[in-house]
Amino acid sequence: MDVLSSTAIKVSNPINGTILYEIDDPSQEQIKAIYDRARAAQAKIQAMSIEQRIAEVDKIRDYVIQYESMILDAIIAETGKARTDAFAAEVFEVTDVIDVYKKLAPKTLKDRKVPQPIFLIEKKSRQFIEPLGTVLVITPWNFPFYQVIVPSLMSFLAGNATIVKPSEVTPLKPLWDHFFAHSGFMKDAIQVVTGGKETGANLIAMRPDKVHFTGSVGTGRKLMEACAKLLIPIDLELGGKDPAIIFDDVDIDRTANGIMWGAFTNAGQNCTGIERLYVQEGIYDQFVPYLVERTKRLRTSHPGRDTSSAEDCDVGAVTAPFQVRIIEEHIEDALAKGAKLLCGGIQEKGSHHIPPTIFENCDHTMKIASEETFGPTLAIMKFKTEEEVIRLANDSPYGLSASVWSKDVERGTRVARALKCGNVCVNNHMMNEANPYLPFGGVKDSGIGRFKGEDGLLAFCNLKSVLIDKQGKLIEPQWYPYTNSKYKLLSAVMHAWFGKSRNYVKFVKNVLPLDSIGNKEKFK
């Protein structure tokens, strides 16, 4: 057996550092068998009606409802999340997505009638919405349940077999074993393959029909290169450096609460968490102290935390040790460059329990205000005008999501339009992601493609274009042999119909003989 990596990967609990279990990379033979099973299952899935596929997906919902508490325990053990974070963004969201897709999928996946131009009036055009085959989903560590199950169920509804390679940081292996043993979900339709980066690379090398990736920009680039070599289509959901813009007419209490949540939920480990905050000068001196005072009241994770309680903490642990180092580096860089620490900061070097940290006097030379921190930090900057803040918000290699806060919804919407990003909320943050009807995705370094909504479902499909003609006697005028008289008629028709002013008389005069000229001037 060809074992790719002999070193087992240790999965640990970030709250107290205990080792939970180990995973190994599968061998090449095992990977080949996984693809064989996927391809066999795919043929069965393709033959199922959409109602039958929905009935399978309902088993996921039933499983989530039945085992809610156990799922949360498994997620918390590997991520260190606050219980409510794990519940809202992973468990609740999965049930909501399923409910929406039960309505959306039958409509979206139906074959479509497509109109045709006047010259093809006698023919029929269709779009068959078909599966792609086998889809490979590669996921990160920040939402290990949601990010595995949601793309997989979308891919399944579209008729594909799905192979998922979860992050080696939070593979949730015991949970997936339990899920496949107890949910009754169709065998081999979704296979979760645990392992490290090499397993991800080896799975791509087996030529899936599509890759759906969520993760960092650097890894996304590598995956796109690997896919380019094999011409495999890939969707990339990458990082962000979300700005939130506060105009001076906001309700301070509501806005401060919204910003706190947008910045610190999931301990800031969201690609769409608020990392940059631009506050207009007229409200700055009232808003910032209010926000800081409220933030100081948030309960931060600690090693002895009772994770069974929804009130155990507000801001969970930072999941990955390498992320702790990045957050610390950004905090140190901000301090060195003259940012003013208003709350939080590094309490104990290397600790996964980082309190919500707010800086003011920031600028874009600081990592905390320009690079993805992916932690519970917020860099505040003051602005004067709408024009200035649009320029500042767009001054980023990222373009994932943003929010604009103002009582003047017209202004909020105008600024939302001016921002170069894939998603925006007005007077909220990240809530667009709570609507599964809305596609999600980024521009610039934040990614390629759209996930969820109708567009996201179609991203897992082959949109096959079909033209259906009659099997009569008609020989098309543009078929062989090419003759001067056919050419003249075709040219006259083009000028009559598409010329600056439409000439109906000339059109009819030339289009009528065009109908029969193919038969007259055919090869005898």
Residues at the site binding ligand ADP, with contacts judged by CB under 6 A: 138-141, 165, 167-168, 196-197, 200-201, 204, 215-216, 219, 222-223
Structure tokens at 69: 């508490």
Q: How far is the CB of 244 from ligand ADP (least distance, A)?
A: 22
Q: How far is the CB of 224 from ligand ADP (least distance, A)?
A: 10
Q: 237 an active-site residue?
A: yes
Q: How far is the CB of 148 from ligand ADP (least distance, A)?
A: 10
Q: How far is the CB of 214 from ligand ADP (least distance, A)?
A: 7
Q: How far is the CB of 518 from ligand ADP (least distance, A)?
A: 54
For ligand ADP, give the closer residue by CB, 233 or 513: 233
Task: Output the residue with the shortest Cβ distance to ligand ADP.
Answer: 200
For residues 139 and 165, is the Cβ–Cβ distance under 8 A? Answer: yes
Query: Element (H or E) spanning 462, and its range?
Result: strand 461-468
Render the burial of 306-321: b for 16+ CB within 10 Å, e for the rest. Answer: ebeeeebbbbbbbbbe
Identity of the amino acid at 491:
S
Give a three-class secondary structure readout of 388-424.
Answer: HHHHHHHCCCEECEEEEECCCHHHHHHHHHHCCCCEE
Structure tokens at 85: 């974070």
List 78, 93, 168, 237, catalytic entry: 237
Q: How far is the CB of 421 from ligand ADP (least distance, A)?
A: 19
Distance separating alpha carbons of residues 90 and 93, to the nearest angstrom? 5
For residues 179 and 83, is the Cβ–Cβ distance under 8 A? Answer: no
Q: How far is the CB of 216 from ligand ADP (least distance, A)?
A: 4
For ligand ADP, give the closer residue by CB, 215 or 240: 215
Runs of H (alpha helix) within 351-503: 367-370, 386-394, 409-418, 453-458, 484-498
Please say whether the dihedral angle defined by the alpha carbons of residues 82, 63, 215 and 255, taken in this order, is positive or negative: negative
For ligand ADP, give the closer residue by CB, 194 or 295: 194
For ligand ADP, give the closer residue by CB, 125 or 219: 219
- ω before 115 within 30° of 0 (cis)? no
For ligand ADP, give the closer residue by CB, 303 or 321: 321
For residues 31 and 126, is the Cβ–Cβ distance under 8 A? Answer: no
Q: How far is the CB of 200 from ligand ADP (least distance, A)?
A: 2
For ligand ADP, give the closer residue by CB, 142 or 423: 142
For ligand ADP, give the closer residue by CB, 201 or 490: 201
Q: 271 an active-site residue?
A: yes
Give a three-class secondary structure readout of 17-70.
Answer: CCEEEEECCCCHHHHHHHHHHHHHHHHHHHHCCHHHHHHHHHHHHHHHHHCHHH
CA 189 to chain centre: 21
For ligand ADP, give the closer residue by CB, 200 or 273: 200
Residues 6+ apart with CB under 8 A from 450: 235, 422, 439, 440, 441, 456, 459
Distance separating alpha carbons of residues 134 and 445, to the nearest angstrom? 27
Residue 283, classified by CB atoms within 10 Å of its CB into exposed (0-12), middle (13-18) or buried (19+), is middle
Distance separating alpha carbons of residues 59 and 336, to the nearest angstrom? 53
Three-state DSSP class for 328?
Answer: helix
Three-state DSSP class for 384?
Answer: coil
Q: How far is the CB of 163 from ligand ADP (least distance, A)?
A: 12
List 271, 362, 421, 425, catalytic entry: 271
For ligand ADP, give the closer residue by CB, 3 or 512: 3
Q: How far is CA 327 from CA 80, 332, 381, 404, in A?
A: 16, 9, 19, 25
Structure tokens at 110: 């139906």
Give me the active site residues, please. Answer: 237, 271
